[in-house]
Amino acid sequence: MRGRGTRSSSSKPRISTNPFLCQDDSTDGQETTVVNGHDHQDQSTQREHSSFVQGIAIYMNIVVAKAAVTYDGSSLLQEKLKSNNKLIFSGVYDYLFEVMTNRYGQYVFAKLIEICDPSQLHRIAHHICSSQLMTNKIGYSVVVQCLNTPSTRQNEELYEQIVRHCLELATNEHGCIALNECITCIRGPRRSQLFNVISSNAVHLSQDPSG
């Protein structure tokens, strides 16, 4: 006969209706909290899986970006964009400067923006504004295209970036062209704010070849 406090090595805890508790014969029906080894293992497995998936995504973005800046890769990606742009969008977006300013990559980028949905287009435009890629001819054409869409909230974010970087744009050979086009497109209080920044720096800008 076993003592009351002795547990057989083959005995198993009864499963409680509460998944974080278990009930054991040795506790007289009293539910006790169990250190959930399985939960810790599951969480660890989920973290490992998430890290693995993230690693694969980063790797694929690098593959896309490297392909975009080669003659054969650029041609292939332009063809693939006809059927699915999600993977290519991610790779181009993560390496926007490298792709946009490359002799082959610019064609991938130009093809990509033709088929982007409004959300993707605004993501690219915001990235362009915040990274000074508006000095790139294709880059500022994307921004202008977005500014001509009726998305007030997303355009407000672009207005903010344009106002913030307007002096850098104004004193750049291509940036000043972009800025002039943006001035035409911008509406509301940001337009006045932009004019105030420009007028406050009129002397400085007048001495610059582009300004």
Q: Are residues 131 and 205 in the same domain?
A: yes
pLDDT digits (tens, 9 = 90+) for 133-162: 788 778 878 888 777 776 667 778 788 888
The arithmetic mean of pLDDT across residues 63-83, rounded, is 91
Q: What percent of the chain has pLDDT over 90?
A: 12
Give the pLDDT confidence score for residue 78 in this predicted structure: 93
How many independent structural domains does the chain possess? 2
Give the pLDDT confidence score for residue 74 in this predicted structure: 94
C-alpha 25/C-alpha 192 separation (Å) is 77
Quote the domain boundaries for residue 102.
50-115
Q: Are residues 144 and 171 in the same domain?
A: yes
The DSSP line for 59-91 is: HHHHHHHHHHTSHHHHHHHHHHTTT--HHHHHH
Phi then psi for residue 80, to 5 deg, are -70, -25
Final residue belonging to a domain, choices 91, 115, 139: 115
Final residue belonging to a domain, choices 79, 99, 115: 115
Q: What is the 3-state secondary structure (H, E, C) of 133-176?
A: HHHCHHHHHHHHHHHCCCCHHHHHHHHHHHHHCHHHHHCCCCHH
Q: Are residues 199 and 140 in the same domain?
A: yes
Domain-located, residue 24 = no
Q: Are residues 155 and 102 in the same domain?
A: no
pLDDT of residue 38 exceeding 70, the answer is no
Give the pLDDT confidence score for residue 31 in this predicted structure: 47
Q: Are residues 122 and 149 in the same domain?
A: yes
